[in-house]
């Protein structure tokens, strides 16, 4: 039988960041990832990092390339009503910058650090089963041709929304809360010079967003019907839709070019409670999903990682369960505030299929009210820059 202290299911950003932080404390970890390394690295996700996320990556010793290549931003742009634009200066409001740096690059940095430190990540692991969560935690799984049993003290469920960890919590204990949205985001990556800032655009035809990965790589999105297929979206149709939704002075600055990646993402809000059952702790997308408006998914995963790292370290170093017992309620408090912000920003900026001209006018008026008011800008900035992490030591 194999043995470890913390078995980590899932080798995405949550799983590997947690593994690196725990290993730094001398805690034995084993990471089990269902997909191949190539598959994980091919996923294109968001790329906006709160300052606490950046700090945590530095603490894990994976901040070097991020420090060199990440771009610091003082604020974010919002546009509506064809020509109205406002740059919300979140630095002035919070004294915190945020950074654009792609999740794919973070995943590369995490894998490189794991390799450099001799921390093995098992890829292509199948048939994972979790047992004994209330008395004798065990994981059974298939690695290559062999079936293994792994004995551990704790299991970190970092296996994303479609993982199996959440299902290990009995139905009479697990509560889930969900909202799906009747639209998706059609996203394009292109080797073109991005705009200087991130722009969120409200338009009567639907939402649009300009973002970036590096000085030569742009990421753009347009709202599309939830059941649209990729074949419906030629590059020409995408650019034409994007440019029509952007205010003309910004559209004039957007460089278009061939797409190098295209995808349609559904929008969903989801929370599972509690985030702990016996020896199992849910982390990141395994416990919650936010729509991408506001780019909070990865940042929320990182605050979970921080809380669990703090709890497990205190447990192993001092045999004190205080922070481990506080994990689920503490993480959920921050999760719900962030879920609320992402839901609110999604409602404010998107066009619903049954939307009336009245709804459109109230959205535009809300955008004007927020940006005209110092208190409104402050409130928006605090949430966009990210809620503080409790006891951020």
Q: Please, which residue, 232 or 261, has the CB nearer to ligand APR?
A: 261
Angle at 338 between CA 328 and CA 105, to 5 degrees: 95
200 catalytically annotated: yes
**Residue 375 CB contacts under 8 Å (≥ 6 apart), including other chains:** none
- Residue 387 to residues 51, 60, 62, 169, 296: CA-CA distances in angstroms? 10, 21, 23, 28, 10
**Stretch touching ligand APR by CB under 6 A, among 60-68, 89-97, 293-301, 370-378:** 293-301
Q: How many angstroms from the chain centroid is the CA of residue 117? A: 25
Please select the residue that binds ligand APR; options are 18, 33, 209, 348, rule is CB under 6 A: 33
Site for ligand PHB in 252-271 (CB under 6 A): none
The single residue listed with the structure tokens 């295209």 is: 262
Strands of the sheet with 199-201, listed across from one edge: 84-88, 76-80, 199-201, 208-214, 217-225, 175-190, 259-273, 288-289
296 catalytically annotated: yes
Residue 34 near ligand APR by CB under 6 A = yes
What ranges in the chain are assigned the alpha helix state H? 13-24, 37-41, 51-59, 64-69, 90-94, 103-116, 235-245, 248-251, 297-318, 322-349, 357-372, 374-385
Query: Both tokens of residue 327?
Result: 């994990």
Q: Is 215 in contact with 202 (CB distance < 8 Å)?
A: no
CA distance 330 to 337: 11
Torsion sign (Cα): 258, 251, 49, 274: negative
CA-nearest of 90, 93, 99, 96 to 49 is: 99
x-marked contacts with ligand PHB along 308-327 as a string, rule CB under 6 A:
--------------------
Size, binding site for ligand PHB by CB under 6 A? 11
Helices 297-318 and 13-24 cross at an angle (nearest 10°) of 30
Residue 53 near ligand APR by CB under 6 A = no
306 catalytically annotated: no
x-marked contacts with ligand PHB along 179-208 as a string, rule CB under 6 A:
-------------------x----------
**Stretch touching ligand PHB by CB under 6 A, among 43-51, 119-127, 231-239, 355-363:** 43-51
Residue 13 near ligand PHB by CB under 6 A = no
Site for ligand PHB in 278-297 (CB under 6 A): 292-295
- Out of ligand PHB, ligand APR, none, which partner does residue 293 contact, by CB within 5 to 8 A per kind? ligand PHB
Q: Please, which residue, 294 or 311, has the CB nearer to ligand APR?
A: 294
Over the range 76-96, which residues count as b (16 or more CB within 10 Å of their CB) and which as e? bbbbbbeeebbbbebbebbeb
Q: Which of 86, 111, 200, 387 is catalytic?
A: 200
**Stretch touching ligand APR by CB under 6 A, among 28-36, 228-236, 261-269, 341-349:** 28-36
x-marked contacts with ligand APR along 191-230 as a string, rule CB under 6 A:
----------------------------------------
Minimum distance from residue 161 beta carbon to ligand APR (Å): 6
- Out of ligand APR, ligand PHB, none, which partner does residue 160 contact, by CB within 5 to 8 A per kind? ligand APR
Q: Which of 292, 306, 307, 327 is catalytic?
A: 292
Q: Please, which residue, 264 or 367, has the CB nearer to ligand APR?
A: 264
How many other CB atoms are found less than 10 A from the CB of residue 197? 17
Phi/psi for 382 (5° steps) reads -60, -40
277 catalytically annotated: no
x-marked contacts with ligand APR along 8-27 as a string, rule CB under 6 A:
-xxxxxxx------------
Q: Please, which residue, 126 or 248, has the CB nearer to ligand APR?
A: 126
CA distance 26 to 150: 19
384 catalytically annotated: yes
> Where along the sequence are the contacts to ligand PHB (CB under 6 A)?
46-48, 198, 209, 211, 219, 292-295
- Rule CB under 6 A: which residues touch ligand APR? 9-15, 32-35, 40, 45-46, 103, 125, 128, 158-160, 162-164, 284-285, 297-298, 301
Catalytic residues: 73, 200, 292, 296, 384
């Amino acid at each position: 039988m194999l043995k470890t202290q913390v078995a980590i299911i899932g080798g995405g950003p949550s799983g590997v960041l947690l593994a690196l932080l725990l290993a730094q404390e001398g805690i034995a970890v084993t990471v089990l990832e269902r997909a191949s390394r190539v598959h994980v690295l091919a996923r294109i996700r968001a790329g906006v990092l709160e300052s606490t996320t950046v700090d945590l990556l530095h603490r894990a010793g994976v901040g070097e390339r991020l420090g060199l290549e990440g771009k610091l931003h003082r604020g974010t742009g919002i546009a509506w009503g064809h020509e109205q634009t406002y740059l919300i200066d979140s630095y002035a409001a919070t004294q915190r910058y945020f950074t654009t740096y792609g999740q794919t690059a973070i995943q590369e940095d995490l894998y490189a650090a794991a390799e450099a430190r001799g921390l093995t990540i098992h890829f292509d692991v199948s048939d994972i089963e979790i047992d004994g969560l209330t008395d004798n935690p065990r994981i059974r799984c298939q690695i290559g041709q062999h079936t293994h049993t792994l004995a551990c003290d704790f299991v970190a469920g970092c296996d994303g929304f479609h993982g199996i960890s959440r299902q290990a919590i009995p139905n009479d204990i697990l509560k889930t809360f969900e909202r799906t949205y009747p639209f998706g985001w059609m996203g394009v990556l292109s080797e073109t010079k991005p705009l200087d800032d991130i722009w969120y655009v409200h338009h009567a035809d639907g939402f649009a967003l300009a973002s970036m990965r590096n000085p030569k790589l742009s990421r753009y999105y347009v709202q599309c019907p939830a059941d649209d297929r990729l074949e419906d979206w030629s590059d020409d149709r995408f650019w034409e839709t994007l440019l029509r939704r952007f205010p003309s002075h910004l559209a004039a600055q957007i460089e278009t070019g061939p797409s190098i990646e295209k995808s349609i993402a559904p929008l969903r809000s989801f929370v599972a409670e509690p985030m702990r059952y016996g020896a199992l702790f849910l982390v990141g997308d395994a416990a919650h999903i936010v729509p991408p408006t506001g780019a909070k998914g990865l940042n929320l995963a990182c605050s979970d990682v921080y809380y669990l790292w703090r709890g497990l370290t205190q447990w192993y170093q001092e045999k004190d369960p205080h922070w481990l017992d506080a994990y689920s309620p503490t993480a959920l408090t921050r999760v719900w505030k962030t879920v609320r912000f992402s839901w609110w920003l999604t409602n404010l900026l998107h066009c619903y299929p049954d939307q009336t001209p009245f709804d459109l006018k109230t959205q535009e008026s809300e955008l004007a009210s927020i940006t005209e008011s110092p208190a409104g800008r402050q409130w928006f900035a605090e949430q966009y820059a990210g809620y503080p992490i409790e006891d951020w030591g």
